[in-house]
Amino acid sequence: MSEHRTFPKPVPQLVAREARDRAIDQAWEACKRRVDARDGYSCRVCGRRVVKTLTLCAERLERHHLVPRSIAGPLWADPRNVLVTCTACHGRLTRHEIAPSGTERFTTEDGSFLNADSPFLTFLDSTGHPTMTD
């Protein structure tokens, strides 16, 4: 053995990246299972029953992040930040035609955030009035 080698050999970057990606996927899958069970496969905005499907239809199950993933940091896989929606309501939330509102919040080192676990979460239209269910 030569003296310039160090053991153990460093883990190749690809192996480390695959392990990180696997952990991310597992965290997101666990979050989705918890959110689906909590919301009972019903849209939290309009109450419509939703189904897991690849077909783009009104009953398609989608998940909305209350704090956008781009700025959420560690909240991206926190069930308190995610809720089940149908395709139509998810589009309205994404376009900011309706906005979530509520008094229950949860706190992390990054701040205080609206809690999707709250059964009292409501949705307001652009005029500040509660949305009507379908």
Does 9 score more than 70 pLDDT?
no
- State pLDDT tens for residues 47-105: 999 999 999 999 999 999 999 888 878 888 999 999 999 999 999 999 999 989 888 98
Write out the two tokens for 36.
Answer: 């689906």
In the numeric block, the tokens 């239809």 are attached to 57
Could you tell me the CA-to-CA distances from 96 to 53, 55, 86, 99, 127 in Å, in that order? Answer: 25, 24, 15, 6, 12
- Mean pLDDT for all residues in the chain: 87
With contact defined as beta carbons under 8 Å apart, do 127 and 134 qualify? Answer: no
Q: Which residue has the higher pLDDT, 80 or 3?
A: 80
At residue 86, the 3 state secondary structure works out as coil
Where are the domains positioned within the chain?
13-125
